[in-house]
């Protein structure tokens, strides 16, 4: 597995560096090698690294320091993510280029924190999803839609292709996600095509024509809650 991309998802790299990992996010293989025993296996989740729970437990025991290291970066990553999203909450008067740049940055932070929590602290992540304050299905679909945006940005799609202005019912201006045509999926393995199509559908269900600032506010609130569980359990 690409070690640079793993470092990026664990919070060790800045958002701009993540663009170099686009191939990892675009072309998830049908079969991977288990990070512990090397056995080829078919992943059932996007971030799966181990063929069995036993291999995951063994790897965690043998790499306790490495597995814990991303937790050190979670705090500042959550702060950066929250600050980036907060800037979009006051972006009504910005021009398209300014808003698009902020959207691109915030997408990278949200998906970085999300991937780090899923990869290293799945139990705490699941606990946060199970909270009564979280609408699990909508939250999962929204984050899946943001992964679609991340992957498209990794293909050098410009952020302004995802953004358009929208007038509110009271005449106030704002910014919403732009509906997009179905992506070309040629060259991807079968399972990768299924995942990318699922992300595209999630984008249209939970993001398209919806307020951008509100999307990020809800996601950052959830991810900050999940990160808080990690800190509370450490």
Tell me the pLDDT band of 170, cut-offs 50, 70 and 90: low
- What per-residue confidence (pLDDT) applies to 177? 97
Going by the DSSP 8-state scheme, the letter that residue 175 receives in this structure is: E
Give percent above pLDDT 70 in the chain: 75
Q: Which of 48-52, 68-72, 108-112 has the highest mean pLDDT?
A: 108-112
Long-range contacts of 25-28 (CB under 8 A, 24+ apart): 25/147, 25/150, 25/151, 25/154, 26/151, 26/154, 26/155, 26/188, 26/192, 26/196, 27/187, 27/188, 27/189, 27/192, 28/189, 28/191, 28/192, 28/195
- What per-residue confidence (pLDDT) applies to 9? 42
Going by the DSSP 8-state scheme, the letter that residue 162 receives in this structure is: G
| 189 contacts 29 by C-beta, under 8 angstroms | yes
pTM beyond 0.85, yes or no:
no
Mean pLDDT on 55-81: 71
| 207 contacts 144 by C-beta, under 8 angstroms | no
User: Which of 114, 105, 74 shows the shortest CA–CA distance to 87?
Assistant: 105
pLDDT digits (tens, 9 = 90+) for 129-146: 999 889 999 999 999 999
pLDDT digits (tens, 9 = 90+) for 3-53: 334 344 444 444 444 444 444 343 444 677 877 787 887 776 666 778 887
CA distance 70 to 77: 10
Mean pLDDT on 177-187: 86
* DSSP secondary structure letters along 20-73: GGHHHHH---SSEE-TTT--EE--SSTT---SSHHHHHHHHHHTHHHHHHHHHH
**Is it the case that residue 163 has pLDDT exceeding 70?**
yes
């Amino acid at each position: 597995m690409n070690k640079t991309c793993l470092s990026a998802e664990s919070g060790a790299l800045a958002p701009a560096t993540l663009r170099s990992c686009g191939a990892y996010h675009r072309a998830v293989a049908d079969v991977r090698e288990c990070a512990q025993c090397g056995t080829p296996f078919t992943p059932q989740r996007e971030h799966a690294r181990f063929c069995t729970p036993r291999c995951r437990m063994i790897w965690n025991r043998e790499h306790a320091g490495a597995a814990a290291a991303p937790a050190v970066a979670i705090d500042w990553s959550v702060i950066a993510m929250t600050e980036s999203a907060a800037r979009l909450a006051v972006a009504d008067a910005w021009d398209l280029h300014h808003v698009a740049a902020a959207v691109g940055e915030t997408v990278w932070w949200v998906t970085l924190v999300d991937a780090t929590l899923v990869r290293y602290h799945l139990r705490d992540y699941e606990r946060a999803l199970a909270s009564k304050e979280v609408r699990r299905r909508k939250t999962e679909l929204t984050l899946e839609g943001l992964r679609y945006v991340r992957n498209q940005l990794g293909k050098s799609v410009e952020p302004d292709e995802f953004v358009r202005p929208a007038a509110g019912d009271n005449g106030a201006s704002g910014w919403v996600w732009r509906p997009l045509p179905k992506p070309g999926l040629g060259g991807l393995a079968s399972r990768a095509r299924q995942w990318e199509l699922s992300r595209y559908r999630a984008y249209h269900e939970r993001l398209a024509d919806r307020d951008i600032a509100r999307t990020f506010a809800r996601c950052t609130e959830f991810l900050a809650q999940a990160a808080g569980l990690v800190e509370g359990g450490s």
